[in-house]
Amino acid sequence: MQIKKLFIALGIVLPLHMQGQNFLIKDAPEVIESYVNQFNREDNELYKQDIPNCGASDFLRKNIPFFECPDKELEKTYYFRWWTYRKHIKKTPDGFVITEFLPDVPWAGKYNTISCAANHHFYEGRWLRNAEILSDYASFWFSGSGNPRLYSFGAADAIYNYYLIHNDKMLLADLYPKLKDNFAKWEEEKRDSTGMFWQVDDRDGMVMSVPGHLSEGGRGYRPTINSYMYGEAVALAKIASIVDRDMEARTYQKKADKLKGIINRRLWDKQADFYKVIPLNGKMEFSYARELLGYIPWFYNIPPDNYSIAWKQLFDSKGFEAAYGPTTVEQRCPDFKISYEGHECQWNGPSWPYLTSMTLAAMANYFNSYDSPIITKKDYLSLLNIYSNSHRFLSVNNDTICWIDENINPYTGDWISRTRLKSWKNGTWDDSKGGVERGKDYNHSSFCNLIISGLMGVRPQEDGSIIINPLVPDGCWDYFCLDNVYCQGKTITIIFDKKGKKYGRGKGFIVYVDDKCLSHTTRVQKVVIR
């Protein structure tokens, strides 16, 4: 990045790979621009940060991978989510940060930052070529200006996964002591004699949950916070090794192994075949409800193989399956409800993009890390399509436009909090709730990462290799392409062309590295880039 800044300062034209526009697919810039122009036309731009709508096309052409497939609705959602992510990039006196809401909200920290969705910001934004944005954002949280423990936030894991793409060892070395201190404070504040971490449902970003009502203040031993802290210990072990602290690496790995065992023994309900919350009410009994958060342990590859039966609930109409996204609690639960009364953010029924995206990421890990999965790639694509199709809204002109907001009615597709908040106080928006358009372009989930690392299967490894393992079901599509993916100093292009006519580079599955063909096979298969 310093070289890049020097080139710019001297007025030197950067090489194409540093400009980010070295697309193998020649019409890629025009396709990106076309989508951006459509989104701009449909947008009432009330809030502008570092990159306004007029600069969106240029920024995205320089920074994001090109994605193409026969499913144009899925393709459109991919570009829409990059378009919205760009809105949340904010330049501050402390460098770049990423916001969750566009309007200022009373519960946010400095620069309107909130740690609740920061892990999504890192997993999504790590695919931007401009590494400075997330490097600044990582430093911000531990500069004295951020509050990384206001909500659950797996900071070390998020930053380590950013590192796997951009190889910023200096950032890891600088932040390692602060990440250690952050973990120690989590242990001090939220871990007790059981060896488990506890958290309030609201501080997990999951207010008004079913188990939250079963204890004072919503406290509980939750699969969320315990999985996050396991991920933190694993990431700290890996970071310690990178910065030559081998003894500390072993210490953190031991902490991770111990916590993994506790999670699998204490938070797995054998009767329900599911990870559940234990409310902190003195009874040490599981909540009576399965919640979608029970899939988060697979995000970190915590469960043993024989716990896979839990995935059946995801596609059960009495479990989590619904037309516009998985429900946050199983529908057979007596306290399941879709309410337009009380708190605008309820996690006792409505579908939340936050948890849907984590479930899909966990699902991708499941396919990549476990033998003989009991669900299929078609299941992954089906849920991804449901999630994609939920990104829609009927405008005042009765046009269906792309949209992302807070919580969605899983049966009708209505954005619940928006329906309620727009008339909250005297028939209009309430400043104490975040004011006008609070939930519009809500940056509280991921989507593009699910396409890049999940569906297209670009998965950087700690040894410096990159696995390409697409989850596109056999025979589903005649073509797909992911172009101009920056990862570990390489530019990767993935092409599948059944007939060889779409891209003119031959039939089958082709992987290019820095514009050179690395692999060309008849069928889609796993490829390792070393």
Whether residue 420 contacts residue 346, with contact meaning beta carbons closer than 8 Å, is answered with no
Mean pLDDT of 252-281: 98
512, 492 in Cβ contact below 8 A? yes
CA angle at 56 for the pair 134 and 97, rounded to the nearest 5°: 25
Q: Model confidence at 395, in pLDDT bands (50, 70, 90)?
A: confident
Q: What is the largest CA-CA distance in the chain?
A: 68
> What are the domain boundaries of the chain?
2-455
pTM of the entire predicted model: 0.95
Beta bridge partners of 291: 329
Q: Which fold has domain 2-455?
A: Glycosyltransferase (1.50.10)
**pLDDT tier at 20 (50, 70, 90 boundaries)?**
low
Instruction: Say whether pLDDT at 3 is over 70.
Output: no
Q: How far apart are CA 450 and CA 360, in angstroms?
A: 7
12 pLDDT higher than 70: no
Segment 89-112, tens digit of pLDDT: 999 999 999 999 999 999 999 999
Q: What is the DSSP letter of 472?
A: P
* pLDDT attached to residue 397: 85
Instruction: Count CB-CB contacts under 10 A for residue 455.
Output: 23
Q: What is the mean pLDDT of residues 249-266?
A: 98
Which of 4-8, 93-97, 525-529 has the weakest average pLDDT? Answer: 4-8
User: Which residues have a Cβ under 8 Å from the Cβ of 338 and sit 6 or more positions away?
Assistant: 349, 350, 409, 410, 411, 416
CB 252 within 8 A of CB 238: no
pLDDT given for residue 21 in this prediction:
67
DSSP E strands in 129-191: the ranges are: none
Q: Is the pLDDT of residue 17 over 60?
A: no
- Could you read off the pLDDT of 199-215 as tens digits, one per residue? 999 999 999 999 999 99
442-to-83, 92, 120 alpha-carbon distances in Å: 12, 20, 12
- As a whole number of angstroms, the distance between CA 356 and CA 81 comes to 15
Q: Give mean pLDDT, residues 234-246.
A: 98
* CA gap 220, 460 in Å, rounded: 34
